[in-house]
Amino acid sequence: MKLWWPRFIVRPQVRLARPHFRAPTRPPDIVLFGVIFIVVLFVLGGNIYTLVKTPPPIAGGPNGEPILVVKGLDIQLGMEGLVASVVIFMGTIGLGLLYYSSKYVFQPGYAIRLMALGAILAGVAYLIMTYLLGLKLYTS
């Protein structure tokens, strides 16, 4: 049975659809990599120890001069962990540039510049970490 509608009233042609509920999509891989990379740098820098022990960020010597690196492998100041994390990040970027330069086989000038920059960053990071370890072991 059809209902009678006057001509001046337009019957709407509306179709209401049911809402679709889906599980949230996975975040992009670069976001996951960035979060995991930052967490790894945080752990490798020794910052878990800093959170648990809550040492002062910078210690003071007997004459009031700041001590940034404390002798001994069983103690760490707050700045040491942050510096170590930044240096490890710098070395990782250098190694990443060395790997990335292999994609530019047909552009040797650009590849050599990337390799040189990567080698410099990785080498400087190694030297800084060796220097900091030397300060922790042999400072008197």
Q: Which amino acid would we find at residue 26? A: R
Alpha-carbon gap, residue 103 to 105, rounded angstroms: 6
- For helices 78-100 and 108-138, angle between their N-to-C axes, nearest 10 degrees: 160
Answering whether pTM is above 0.75, one says no
Q: At what angle do helices 29-44 and 78-100 cross, to 10 degrees?
A: 130
d(CA 94, CA 80): 21
- Taking the mean position of all CA atoms in its chain, how far away is CA 90? 11
Digit-coded pLDDT (tens) for 24-64: 788 888 999 999 999 999 999 888 888 888 777 778 888 88
pLDDT 10s digits, 63-116: 888 887 888 888 888 888 888 999 999 999 999 999 999 999 999 999 999 999
**pLDDT above 80 (res 10):** no
**Averaged pLDDT for residues 8-35:** 84
